[in-house]
Homo-oligomer: A and B are copies of this chain.
Amino acid sequence: MLKKILLSENEIPKQWYNIVADMVNKPLPPLNPATKEVLSAEDLEPIFAKELIQQEMSQDRWIDIPEEVRELYKIWRPTPLVRATGLEKALGTPAHIYFKNESVSPIGSHKLNSALPQAYYNKKQGIKRLTTETGAGQWGAALSFASSVFKLDLEVYMVKVSYEQKPYRRMMMQTWGANVIASPSNKTESGRSILAKDPNNSGSLGIAISEAVEMAAKDPDTRYTLGSVLNHVSLHQTVIGLESEKQMEIAGEYPDIVVGCFGGGSNFSGISFPFLRHKIVDGKGIRIIASEPASCPKLSRGKFEYDFGDSVGLTPLLPMYTLGHDFQPADIHAGGLRYHGAGTIVSQLRKDGLIEVQAIPQLETFEAGQLFANTEGIIPAPESTHAIATVIREALKAKEEGVQKNILFCLSGHGLIDMTAYDQYLTGNMSNYKLTDEEISKTTDSLEKLV
């Protein structure tokens, strides 16, 4: 039996898959927050590259991957599909567990799948400089390398507390030539206004987004980029699931269950949309599970409403499952999952009952992560451990029921830059944050009905 299913470079997909084409209920459109009118492409042009806006709004099923981007994907793609035989044995489960190993990318996660095309389309349009925000730094690292390749200047607004506490990812971004700025900063009006009120403000993703968007909006040679939530990001990430489909076929099996961790939706969409297509179009009996933190349970306990994408309220209004744009998630280690809302496509799919959700407490995720490290060798990113925890739940259920299930999940990244989190877990200093009903009701009660 093969441990890994590999594909050759000419099997890297030539097109991304756009699930909107196959959705019975299309996602509701984003709205202009000032007019409450449906947002136009022109509204977005000062902020995003034109071709990315087209992709954001496209209803085409297949969108060509530019040859330049495919060439760069070859640095690490196709990624291996690995049979987690060590984990299966440790669990004593009849389930066959497969994982798509996105941790082999040079930056250590799946984020590069979208960073490269985003940098490419901006370069093609003649843009000189990109801005973005980053929390823990996975997206910032990916865009730093992508900007280096396409010789674009890059400003990354990194949440100040992460800038100080997670120096390794800052140093990675700087090694690739990015200008990394602790946010809130004195460079922007948004930053200065925050600092005027509170000189010791330690920052938030919402503030960092405001700074990055502001810098893009005021310079015609600059555009903003985002690593999750948006439709075009999900689109780019479908290379994960499209490769996995071919690899499962080579393995001679089809997944009964597909799992991805869930923050804004980038790796989850990537692994699941190509399989969801067969559920929607061909009626395949397949369960799709999003694993989110119990401390930030937007899909399991949020409301489906129009809400802002950022905390401050500068972005368009998006129809999504949300805990409220002013929701302050607990300081869990899976920084990539600390976001108040879900992307609009995933939200619609959830509303239509096409995907399931599990909310996992932090300690269970690290227990899963350590077992995975000891059986498969790879220390997973704190985000990815959520998917592993769900896989373990499902594999043990299969054992109890005595049925052989095929379970596929996305290992979105490795955790080598997140070792302090494992240290806290191993030394018994980790909290298990779980949102109480009271906290949730407080949060959802505070949501405005915007439309």
* A residues adjacent to B (C-beta < 8 A): 2-4, 6, 8-9, 71, 74-76, 82, 86, 104-108, 112, 145, 148-149, 167-168, 171-172, 174-177, 370, 373-374, 376-379, 414, 416-417, 419-420, 422-423, 426
Q: Please determine whether A420 and B374 come into contact, CB atoms closer than 8 angstroms.
A: no
A378-B106 in contact (CB<8A): yes
A445 CB to closest chain B CB, in angstroms? 41
Distance A378 CA – B176 CA, assembled complex (angstroms): 10
Closest B residue, CB atoms, query A107: B377
Cα A71 to Cα B175 with chains together (Å): 36
Extra A-B contacts (15), CB below 8 Å, given A171-B423, A176-B373: A2-B9, A3-B71, A75-B377, A76-B377, A106-B376, A106-B377, A106-B414, A112-B377, A145-B374, A149-B374, A167-B420, A172-B379, A172-B422, A174-B423, A416-B416
Q: Which residues of B contact A168 (CB under 8 A)?
A: 168, 416, 419-420
Task: Tell me the bound Cα distance from A414 to B104 in angstroms.
Answer: 11
Give the docked Cα–Cα distance between A378 and B172 (Å). Answer: 10
Quick check: B4 and A108 within 8 Å, CB to CB?
no
- Give complex CA distance A171, B414 in Å: 14
Question: Which of A4, A74, A416 has its CB near the most chain B CB atoms (within 10 A)?
Answer: A416
Q: Return A11 CB to nearest CB of chain B, in Å.
A: 11
> Would A419 and B3 be within 8 Å (CB), given that A76-B377, A374-B148, A377-B145 are in contact?
no
Partner of A4, one of B74, B106, B107: B74
Q: Which residues of B contact A370 (CB under 8 A)?
A: 175
Name A426's contact: one of B82, B167, B174, B419 (CB within 8 Å): B174
Q: Are B175 and A373 in contact (CB under 8 A)?
A: yes
- A3-B9, A9-B4 in contact; A422/B374 too (CB < 8 A)? no
Whether A426 contacts B175 in the complex (CB less than 8 A), given A374-B148, A416-B416, A417-B416, comes out as: yes
